[in-house]
Amino acid sequence: MSRPHAVVTGGAGFLGSHLVDTLLDDGYHVTSLDNYGSGRPENLVHVESDRFESLEHDVRDPLPDFDRVDEVYHMASRASPEDFESHAVEIALTNSEGTRNAIECALDHDATVLLASTSEVYGDPEVHPQHEDYNGSVNVRGPRTPYDESKRFGEALAVAYDQQYEVDVRTVRIFNTYGPRMRPDDGRVIPNFLSQALHGDDLTVYGDGTQTRSFCYVDDLIGGIRAVATADRSAAAGEVFNVGNTDEMEIRELAEVVLDVVDTESGITHEPLPEDDPQVRRPDISKITAEFDWEPAVPLREGLSRTVADYRELL
Protein backbone atom coordinates (compact mmCIF):
# COMPACT_ATOMS: atom_id res chain seq x y z
CA MET A 1 0.00 0.00 0.00
CA SER A 2 2.74 2.45 -0.90
CA ARG A 3 0.27 4.05 -3.30
CA PRO A 4 -2.59 6.27 -2.07
CA HIS A 5 -5.91 4.47 -1.60
CA ALA A 6 -9.11 6.07 -2.88
CA VAL A 7 -12.60 4.76 -2.09
CA VAL A 8 -15.27 5.72 -4.63
CA THR A 9 -18.89 5.25 -3.61
CA GLY A 10 -21.08 4.81 -6.66
CA GLY A 11 -17.97 3.69 -8.53
CA ALA A 12 -19.96 1.76 -11.15
CA GLY A 13 -22.09 4.77 -12.00
CA PHE A 14 -21.74 7.20 -14.87
CA LEU A 15 -19.49 9.70 -13.08
CA GLY A 16 -18.01 7.23 -10.62
CA SER A 17 -16.64 4.91 -13.31
CA HIS A 18 -14.92 7.78 -15.15
CA LEU A 19 -13.44 8.89 -11.83
CA VAL A 20 -12.16 5.34 -11.20
CA ASP A 21 -10.37 5.42 -14.58
CA THR A 22 -8.71 8.74 -13.78
CA LEU A 23 -7.59 7.66 -10.31
CA LEU A 24 -6.04 4.49 -11.69
CA ASP A 25 -4.28 6.51 -14.38
CA ASP A 26 -2.90 8.70 -11.59
CA GLY A 27 -1.41 5.66 -9.83
CA TYR A 28 -3.93 5.13 -7.04
CA HIS A 29 -5.15 1.93 -5.49
CA VAL A 30 -8.93 2.22 -5.97
CA THR A 31 -11.90 0.54 -4.32
CA SER A 32 -15.32 0.96 -5.91
CA LEU A 33 -18.44 0.55 -3.74
CA ASP A 34 -21.77 0.23 -5.52
CA ASN A 35 -25.12 -1.47 -4.88
CA TYR A 36 -25.83 -1.45 -8.67
CA GLY A 37 -29.12 0.36 -8.23
CA SER A 38 -28.32 2.82 -11.01
CA GLY A 39 -24.67 1.94 -11.54
CA ARG A 40 -23.81 -0.83 -13.99
CA PRO A 41 -21.08 -3.48 -13.70
CA GLU A 42 -20.45 -3.01 -17.45
CA ASN A 43 -19.07 0.46 -16.69
CA LEU A 44 -16.07 -1.16 -15.01
CA VAL A 45 -15.63 -4.31 -17.08
CA HIS A 46 -12.80 -2.71 -19.06
CA VAL A 47 -10.68 -2.16 -15.93
CA GLU A 48 -7.74 -4.55 -15.74
CA SER A 49 -5.54 -3.58 -12.82
CA ASP A 50 -4.26 -5.25 -9.68
CA ARG A 51 -4.73 -1.87 -8.02
CA PHE A 52 -8.50 -2.04 -8.36
CA GLU A 53 -11.24 -3.88 -6.51
CA SER A 54 -14.99 -3.61 -6.91
CA LEU A 55 -17.25 -4.40 -3.95
CA GLU A 56 -21.03 -4.65 -3.97
CA HIS A 57 -22.03 -2.42 -1.09
CA ASP A 58 -24.85 -0.03 -0.19
CA VAL A 59 -23.59 3.19 1.39
CA ARG A 60 -26.66 3.36 3.58
CA ASP A 61 -24.72 0.76 5.60
CA PRO A 62 -21.36 1.61 7.23
CA LEU A 63 -18.46 1.31 4.82
CA PRO A 64 -16.26 -1.82 4.96
CA ASP A 65 -13.20 -1.90 7.20
CA PHE A 66 -10.07 -0.85 5.34
CA ASP A 67 -6.47 -0.90 6.48
CA ARG A 68 -5.91 2.55 5.05
CA VAL A 69 -7.89 5.19 3.18
CA ASP A 70 -6.46 8.46 1.85
CA GLU A 71 -9.36 9.87 -0.14
CA VAL A 72 -13.10 9.17 -0.15
CA TYR A 73 -15.17 10.24 -3.16
CA HIS A 74 -18.86 10.15 -2.28
CA MET A 75 -20.47 9.87 -5.72
CA ALA A 76 -23.29 7.44 -4.86
CA SER A 77 -26.88 8.49 -5.53
CA ARG A 78 -29.51 8.05 -8.15
CA ALA A 79 -29.64 11.36 -10.02
CA SER A 80 -32.23 10.66 -12.72
CA PRO A 81 -35.54 12.53 -12.46
CA GLU A 82 -37.13 9.23 -13.51
CA ASP A 83 -36.15 7.85 -10.07
CA PHE A 84 -37.21 10.75 -7.87
CA GLU A 85 -40.66 9.28 -7.19
CA SER A 86 -40.07 5.54 -7.49
CA HIS A 87 -36.86 5.55 -5.37
CA ALA A 88 -37.50 8.60 -3.22
CA VAL A 89 -36.59 7.03 0.14
CA GLU A 90 -33.46 5.35 -1.21
CA ILE A 91 -32.27 8.66 -2.68
CA ALA A 92 -32.96 10.60 0.51
CA LEU A 93 -31.11 8.09 2.69
CA THR A 94 -28.18 7.68 0.28
CA ASN A 95 -27.55 11.42 0.43
CA SER A 96 -28.02 11.65 4.19
CA GLU A 97 -27.12 8.40 5.96
CA GLY A 98 -24.82 7.45 3.08
CA THR A 99 -23.01 10.78 3.34
CA ARG A 100 -22.61 10.26 7.06
CA ASN A 101 -21.08 6.80 6.49
CA ALA A 102 -18.67 8.14 3.86
CA ILE A 103 -17.50 10.94 6.15
CA GLU A 104 -17.23 8.58 9.14
CA CYS A 105 -14.90 6.39 7.06
CA ALA A 106 -12.75 9.44 6.36
CA LEU A 107 -12.83 10.41 10.04
CA ASP A 108 -11.58 6.95 11.03
CA HIS A 109 -8.66 7.18 8.57
CA ASP A 110 -7.92 10.92 8.68
CA ALA A 111 -8.75 10.98 4.98
CA THR A 112 -9.97 13.69 2.62
CA VAL A 113 -13.60 13.59 1.43
CA LEU A 114 -14.81 14.80 -1.95
CA LEU A 115 -18.58 15.25 -1.63
CA ALA A 116 -20.52 15.24 -4.89
CA SER A 117 -23.36 17.72 -4.49
CA THR A 118 -25.45 19.16 -7.31
CA SER A 119 -26.71 22.30 -8.98
CA GLU A 120 -30.15 21.08 -7.89
CA VAL A 121 -29.46 22.65 -4.49
CA TYR A 122 -30.18 25.98 -6.20
CA GLY A 123 -33.69 24.82 -7.15
CA ASP A 124 -35.46 27.10 -9.64
CA PRO A 125 -32.97 29.93 -9.10
CA GLU A 126 -33.77 33.59 -8.63
CA VAL A 127 -30.08 34.47 -9.10
CA HIS A 128 -28.45 33.93 -12.48
CA PRO A 129 -25.82 32.64 -13.01
CA GLN A 130 -25.66 30.68 -9.77
CA HIS A 131 -22.68 31.30 -7.46
CA GLU A 132 -21.65 29.32 -4.39
CA ASP A 133 -22.93 31.92 -1.91
CA TYR A 134 -26.49 31.73 -3.28
CA ASN A 135 -28.72 29.65 -1.00
CA GLY A 136 -31.17 28.64 -3.71
CA SER A 137 -34.93 28.57 -4.19
CA VAL A 138 -36.03 24.99 -3.52
CA ASN A 139 -39.53 23.58 -3.08
CA VAL A 140 -39.14 21.52 0.10
CA ARG A 141 -42.30 19.49 -0.63
CA GLY A 142 -42.16 19.03 -4.38
CA PRO A 143 -41.47 16.00 -6.60
CA ARG A 144 -37.71 16.74 -6.70
CA THR A 145 -37.46 17.18 -2.92
CA PRO A 146 -35.98 13.73 -2.03
CA TYR A 147 -32.98 14.56 -4.22
CA ASP A 148 -32.68 18.33 -3.79
CA GLU A 149 -33.11 18.47 -0.04
CA SER A 150 -31.05 15.39 0.76
CA LYS A 151 -28.16 16.87 -1.22
CA ARG A 152 -28.55 20.09 0.75
CA PHE A 153 -28.55 18.09 3.98
CA GLY A 154 -25.43 16.23 2.81
CA GLU A 155 -23.70 19.58 2.53
CA ALA A 156 -24.94 20.48 6.02
CA LEU A 157 -23.40 17.26 7.35
CA ALA A 158 -20.11 18.18 5.69
CA VAL A 159 -20.14 21.53 7.50
CA ALA A 160 -21.04 19.84 10.81
CA TYR A 161 -18.17 17.33 10.59
CA ASP A 162 -15.79 20.12 9.67
CA GLN A 163 -16.89 22.25 12.62
CA GLN A 164 -16.95 19.47 15.21
CA TYR A 165 -14.19 17.10 14.07
CA GLU A 166 -12.19 19.12 11.51
CA VAL A 167 -12.76 16.51 8.80
CA ASP A 168 -11.39 17.71 5.47
CA VAL A 169 -14.53 17.70 3.30
CA ARG A 170 -14.47 19.42 -0.10
CA THR A 171 -17.80 19.83 -1.90
CA VAL A 172 -18.44 20.17 -5.63
CA ARG A 173 -21.82 21.24 -7.00
CA ILE A 174 -22.09 19.41 -10.30
CA PHE A 175 -23.98 21.02 -13.17
CA ASN A 176 -25.56 19.14 -16.07
CA THR A 177 -22.97 16.58 -17.18
CA TYR A 178 -23.13 14.14 -20.09
CA GLY A 179 -20.95 11.63 -21.89
CA PRO A 180 -20.30 7.93 -22.54
CA ARG A 181 -21.67 5.40 -19.98
CA MET A 182 -24.68 7.56 -19.17
CA ARG A 183 -27.70 5.26 -19.21
CA PRO A 184 -29.79 5.75 -22.37
CA ASP A 185 -32.92 5.50 -20.19
CA ASP A 186 -31.51 7.90 -17.62
CA GLY A 187 -34.34 10.40 -18.04
CA ARG A 188 -32.17 13.51 -18.34
CA VAL A 189 -32.37 15.57 -21.47
CA ILE A 190 -29.24 14.54 -23.42
CA PRO A 191 -29.73 10.76 -22.94
CA ASN A 192 -33.40 11.22 -23.82
CA PHE A 193 -32.63 13.15 -27.00
CA LEU A 194 -29.84 10.84 -28.14
CA SER A 195 -31.86 7.68 -27.54
CA GLN A 196 -34.86 9.08 -29.38
CA ALA A 197 -32.77 10.34 -32.29
CA LEU A 198 -30.89 7.05 -32.68
CA HIS A 199 -34.19 5.14 -32.70
CA GLY A 200 -35.64 7.53 -35.28
CA ASP A 201 -38.23 8.85 -32.83
CA ASP A 202 -39.20 12.48 -32.39
CA LEU A 203 -37.38 14.33 -29.64
CA THR A 204 -39.55 15.27 -26.67
CA VAL A 205 -39.17 18.88 -25.56
CA TYR A 206 -41.01 19.81 -22.37
CA GLY A 207 -42.77 23.15 -22.39
CA ASP A 208 -41.82 25.57 -25.14
CA GLY A 209 -38.15 24.66 -24.86
CA THR A 210 -36.98 28.13 -23.82
CA GLN A 211 -35.71 26.82 -20.45
CA THR A 212 -31.93 26.79 -20.37
CA ARG A 213 -29.17 24.44 -19.23
CA SER A 214 -25.36 24.45 -19.39
CA PHE A 215 -23.85 21.11 -20.42
CA CYS A 216 -20.42 19.89 -19.32
CA TYR A 217 -18.65 16.91 -20.89
CA VAL A 218 -17.72 14.22 -18.40
CA ASP A 219 -13.94 14.43 -18.93
CA ASP A 220 -14.00 18.13 -18.07
CA LEU A 221 -16.16 17.47 -15.01
CA ILE A 222 -13.81 14.79 -13.66
CA GLY A 223 -10.88 17.14 -14.19
CA GLY A 224 -12.62 19.73 -12.01
CA ILE A 225 -13.34 17.16 -9.31
CA ARG A 226 -9.73 16.05 -9.21
CA ALA A 227 -8.50 19.66 -9.08
CA VAL A 228 -10.55 20.21 -5.93
CA ALA A 229 -9.71 16.84 -4.37
CA THR A 230 -5.94 17.15 -4.81
CA ALA A 231 -5.59 20.80 -3.78
CA ASP A 232 -3.78 21.82 -0.63
CA ARG A 233 -5.92 21.63 2.49
CA SER A 234 -5.63 25.39 2.99
CA ALA A 235 -7.21 26.04 -0.43
CA ALA A 236 -10.04 23.51 -0.43
CA ALA A 237 -10.93 22.06 2.99
CA GLY A 238 -14.47 23.01 3.96
CA GLU A 239 -15.04 24.82 0.68
CA VAL A 240 -17.69 24.35 -2.01
CA PHE A 241 -17.07 24.80 -5.72
CA ASN A 242 -19.39 24.91 -8.73
CA VAL A 243 -18.15 22.59 -11.49
CA GLY A 244 -19.75 22.87 -14.89
CA ASN A 245 -19.79 24.59 -18.26
CA THR A 246 -20.86 28.23 -18.59
CA ASP A 247 -22.13 27.85 -22.18
CA GLU A 248 -25.88 28.24 -21.63
CA MET A 249 -28.42 27.21 -24.25
CA GLU A 250 -32.16 26.73 -24.63
CA ILE A 251 -33.44 23.16 -24.69
CA ARG A 252 -35.09 23.67 -28.07
CA GLU A 253 -31.67 24.72 -29.41
CA LEU A 254 -30.09 21.61 -27.91
CA ALA A 255 -32.69 19.49 -29.70
CA GLU A 256 -31.69 20.99 -33.06
CA VAL A 257 -27.99 20.36 -32.34
CA VAL A 258 -28.68 16.70 -31.45
CA LEU A 259 -30.70 16.19 -34.64
CA ASP A 260 -27.78 17.56 -36.64
CA VAL A 261 -25.08 15.55 -34.82
CA VAL A 262 -26.99 12.27 -35.07
CA ASP A 263 -28.03 13.04 -38.67
CA THR A 264 -31.56 11.74 -38.30
CA GLU A 265 -34.94 12.50 -39.83
CA SER A 266 -36.52 12.69 -36.37
CA GLY A 267 -38.62 15.71 -35.53
CA ILE A 268 -39.51 17.52 -32.31
CA THR A 269 -42.66 17.18 -30.21
CA HIS A 270 -43.72 19.10 -27.12
CA GLU A 271 -45.20 17.94 -23.82
CA PRO A 272 -46.15 19.87 -20.66
CA LEU A 273 -43.32 21.10 -18.46
CA PRO A 274 -42.84 18.96 -15.30
CA GLU A 275 -43.49 20.53 -11.90
CA ASP A 276 -40.54 22.43 -10.38
CA ASP A 277 -38.45 22.09 -13.54
CA PRO A 278 -35.87 24.92 -13.30
CA GLN A 279 -36.22 27.64 -15.93
CA VAL A 280 -32.55 28.60 -16.02
CA ARG A 281 -29.30 26.90 -15.05
CA ARG A 282 -25.78 28.25 -15.52
CA PRO A 283 -22.87 28.03 -13.09
CA ASP A 284 -20.63 30.83 -11.99
CA ILE A 285 -17.27 29.02 -12.01
CA SER A 286 -15.09 32.01 -11.17
CA LYS A 287 -14.16 30.49 -7.80
CA ILE A 288 -12.75 27.18 -9.09
CA THR A 289 -11.11 28.96 -12.04
CA ALA A 290 -9.37 31.47 -9.78
CA GLU A 291 -8.27 28.86 -7.23
CA PHE A 292 -7.17 26.02 -9.53
CA ASP A 293 -7.09 27.46 -13.04
CA TRP A 294 -9.76 24.97 -14.13
CA GLU A 295 -12.31 25.49 -16.86
CA PRO A 296 -14.05 23.12 -19.32
CA ALA A 297 -12.50 22.59 -22.73
CA VAL A 298 -14.68 20.15 -24.73
CA PRO A 299 -17.21 21.89 -27.06
CA LEU A 300 -20.78 20.58 -27.01
CA ARG A 301 -20.76 19.17 -30.54
CA GLU A 302 -17.53 17.29 -29.93
CA GLY A 303 -18.80 15.88 -26.64
CA LEU A 304 -22.09 14.86 -28.24
CA SER A 305 -20.26 13.11 -31.08
CA ARG A 306 -18.24 11.06 -28.58
CA THR A 307 -21.39 10.20 -26.66
CA VAL A 308 -23.30 9.23 -29.83
CA ALA A 309 -20.53 6.79 -30.75
CA ASP A 310 -20.90 5.13 -27.35
CA TYR A 311 -24.70 5.02 -27.60
CA ARG A 312 -24.64 3.52 -31.09
CA GLU A 313 -22.59 0.61 -29.78
CA LEU A 314 -24.71 0.26 -26.66
CA LEU A 315 -28.08 0.40 -28.39
Active site residues per annotation:
147
Task: Give, rounded to a whole angstrom, the gap between the first and last alpha carbons of the chain.
Answer: 40
Exposed/middle/buried for residue 131 (C-beta within 10 Å: 0-12, 13-18, 19+): middle
140 torsion bin: left (phi>0), alpha (psi -120 to 50), beta (else):
alpha
The residue count for the chain = 315
Which residue(s) pair with 216 in the sheet?
Answer: 177
Question: In this structure, are residues 290 and 205 in contact, taking their beta carbons and an 8 Å threshold?
Answer: no
Pairing of strands 212-214, 248-250: antiparallel
Give start and end residues of each alpha helix (H) in 124-200. Answer: 145-165, 189-198
177: nearest Cα among 33, 82, 307, 275: 307
Helix (H) or strand (E) holding 115: strand 112-118
* Whole-angstrom distance, CA of residue 119 vs CA of residue 92: 16
